Amino acid sequence: MRQNMSVLIHRDRIANRVRELAMEIGSAYNGQAVVVIGILGGAFVFMADLVRQADFVSQVDFLWLESYEGQKSTGKIKVRQEANVDMQGKDILILDDILDTGLTLGFTREYVLNQGAKSVRAAVLLKKDRENVDPALAENVGFTIPDKFVIGYGLDYNGKYRHLPDICVMEPEKENL
Ligand code: XMP
């Protein structure tokens, strides 16, 4: 582990919470099968773990968005790859790694509804504890964390560290990459 990183959420806690989230989301859908859309790049690990424990998945697809440079949001969303699945009349569950400013989930919820979805719900593993973010953006939240930059379990710093099994805090401005 690098000196400027410390473990915030250990892999065992993540595994337990993801299992609980799969059950919480399943009971919200009450046995109904839905289309799951993961937001890339960050959601791939969370999504892989969650869908394999879920009893509510009919199809899985991805929407690849970009909004971050280093540790900062650019404030703009760039679509790198559209989802392919037909969303018309379908119930859509969006999965993302983290809810920070809400820009990404706000954009994605609108995107999904514009594709003709019948309903939309969102689940995130992490939510940063910050003000002025609409709590209705994510119906299911794994952990609320301090407003710090985190990496691991799919989350990156400039494309690095996504493979780390624990969620770690990266201290700002100390990274000599
Ligand atoms: P917004 O601000 O749109 O943020 O709610 C959601 C997206 O921004 C990225 N993000 C982070 N990525 N560590 C990361 O590696 C962080 O602490 C962090 N905060 C936001 C992430 O891509 C997420 O989908």
Atom of ligand 1 nearest to the CA of 77: 3
pLDDT of 2: 64
The DSSP letter of residue 132 is S
Which of 6, 99, 104 to mutate for ligand 1's pocket (most ligand atoms within 8 Å of CB)? 104
Å from CA of 31 to ligand 1 middle: 31
CB 91 within 8 A of CB 119: yes
pTM of the model: 0.93
Nearest to 133 by CA among 165, 168, 98, 167: 98
pLDDT of 175: 47
pLDDT of 1: 62
166 is catalytic: no
The mean pLDDT value for 39-55 works out to 97
CB 25 within 8 A of CB 56: yes
Comparing 73 with 111, the larger pLDDT belongs to 111
Which residue owns the Cα nearest ligand 1 atom 18?
Answer: 149
